[in-house]
Amino acid sequence: MDAQAPETTHLPTLGALEARAGLFTAYGVLRAIRKAQTRAGKPFVELKLMDREGAAAGKIWSDSARAMQAIDSLEIGDHVKVLFEVDTYKGAMQLNVRRIRKAEDGDPGYAPASLMEEGYELVSDILCKTLVFDIETAPAVDVRKEPSTIAQAVAKVAERNEWDQSKVMSLSPYFGKVISLAVGDGEQDPRTMEVTVFVVPPAGADLGSLPAWIRPVSEQDLLRAFWVLAGNAEVVVSYNGRGFDVPFLQGRSLIHGIDARVDLLSNRFSLRPHLDLYYALGQTRGPSSLDVVCWALGLTSPKEAMDGSMVATTYEKGDIASIALYNAGDVRATTGVYQRVRDKVLRFRDDW
């Protein structure tokens, strides 16, 4: 590749790139491939490439015949070497890919470990194309020990909404923390699907013997696991994830200094990379919680055994297994709704 473009400057990571003129080479992990056509009917391919430092979107246009041909031999997850120009599209950097192939041992500057995101080892066995997720949260601070202005801020919200302070803190990434993250492959049968739950045990809790599908971690590792899973998925599925889960995850990542590596909030009505079923169903007037939708569709709802108002007290008791079971039920319920919406609604949409 480089022999035909001696002027190319080798850059080892995508995260080091800047929008400037010239041809460059870089290594990355292929995370998404989408074939499409221009309005004039010419084919092109959209790519997403990632490494440990960042991510970059790319396009292969029809005039890059060798790259267009090579893409058919590549799969999601392949380590690739790309030859490209750097363009901008709507203010964001984009790679105009001229050549692409699998990276090979012995390629100058190729270091596989440098391409794998931090936290990859936590989830390498559960990566999937359709990631369904849900989180549970609990208070992270004792406001009685914080400055009076902070305690007053919590008290005002609690009084205005007629909530207890525990609920106020559980709903804010500045006062609460993620204690459980349930994830599953949305293409599996929700009745038998394998759900993995990352849990953050209370300090000093006696966990006893937990099943293999429950994985105790720190909150920092839980967050890293989520962003790696989301970055490897073609679509991330939630129910009202734009309204709560993703902003909470982003807020906690910001506090811990962890990169929120995937944009899951821009354009709330888009279907990819984040399919929020709450918005896909049109935000109908009246009650439209996950519990209500499951009832209307004849699907099992986890709210029959537990609900979000019980999570904080259950966590205080150290019963992380019950929270994990409830969280996994939410993922199975969301998967059931997703598959019904996918088959009866989304397949008729041009943007799916």
Distance between CA atoms of 241 and 309, rounded to whole angstroms?
A: 18
Structure tokens at 98: 């001229």
Confidence band, pLDDT 50/70/90 cuts, at residue 7:
very low
What pLDDT digit, counting tens, does each position of 289-345 carry?
999 999 999 998 877 667 777 899 999 999 999 999 999 999 999 999 999 999 999
Return the pLDDT at 126.
Answer: 97
> Does domain 121-140+175-348 correspond to CATH entry 3.30.420.10?
yes
Coil, helix or strand for 258? coil
Strands 92-102 and 55-60: parallel
- What CATH number is given for 2-116 in this structure? 2.40.50.140
Lowest mean pLDDT among 30-34, 44-48, 272-276, 313-317: 30-34
The beta strand positions in the chain, using DSSP E, are 9-10, 23-37, 43-50, 55-60, 79-89, 92-102, 130-139, 176-185, 195-199, 214-216, 235-238, 274-276
pLDDT range class, residue 2, cuts 50, 70, 90: very low
Which of 139-148, 239-248, 303-312 ranks highest by mean pLDDT? Answer: 239-248
Contacts of 198 (CB under 8 A, 6+ apart): 122, 180, 181, 182, 183, 215, 216, 217, 221, 222, 225
pLDDT at residue 17, as a whole number = 59
Nearest to 339 by CA among 283, 285, 275, 295: 275
DSSP 3-state assignment of 226? Answer: helix
Stretch among 110-124, 235-249, 327-341 having the lowest mean pLDDT = 110-124
- State percent of the chain over pLDDT 70: 93
- Domain assignments of the chain as residue spans, ordered by start: 2-116, 121-140+175-348
Residue 19 has pLDDT above 60, yes or no: no
Residue 198 has pLDDT above 80, yes or no: yes
Query: Which residues make beta-bridge pairs with 198?
Result: 181, 215
Omega prior to 43 cis, within 30 of 0: no
Model confidence band, residue 51 (pLDDT cutoffs 50, 70, 90): confident
Measured distance CA(235)–CA(239) in Å, rounded: 13
Q: What pLDDT is attached to residue 20?
A: 58
Q: Is the pLDDT of residue 4 over 50?
A: no
Mean pLDDT check: name the lowest of 19-23, 219-223, 268-272. Answer: 19-23
Q: What's the pLDDT score for residue 21?
A: 63
**Amino acid letter at 110?**
Y
Task: Quote the mean pLDDT of the chain.
Answer: 89
Is pLDDT at 14 greater than 70 in this prediction? Answer: no
Which token pair is 309?
């108002």
Residues making up the chain, counted from first to last: 352
The confidence score (pLDDT) of residue 56 equals: 84
Statement: residue 118 has pLDDT above 90: no
Pairing of strands 130-139, 235-238: parallel
Share of the chain above pLDDT 90, in %: 68
pTM for the structure as a whole: 0.82
The pLDDT of residue 94 is: 86
Tokens of 299: 């699907």
Q: How far apart are CA 227 and CA 207, in angstroms?
A: 26
For 78-98, how does the pLDDT look when each residue is reduced to its tens digit (9 = 90+)?
A: 999 999 998 877 777 789 999
Q: Residue 258 and residue 269: Cα distance in Å, rounded?
A: 26
**d(C-alpha 274, C-alpha 294), whole Å:** 20
Both tokens assigned to 133: 């997720």
- Does pLDDT of 230 surpass 60? yes
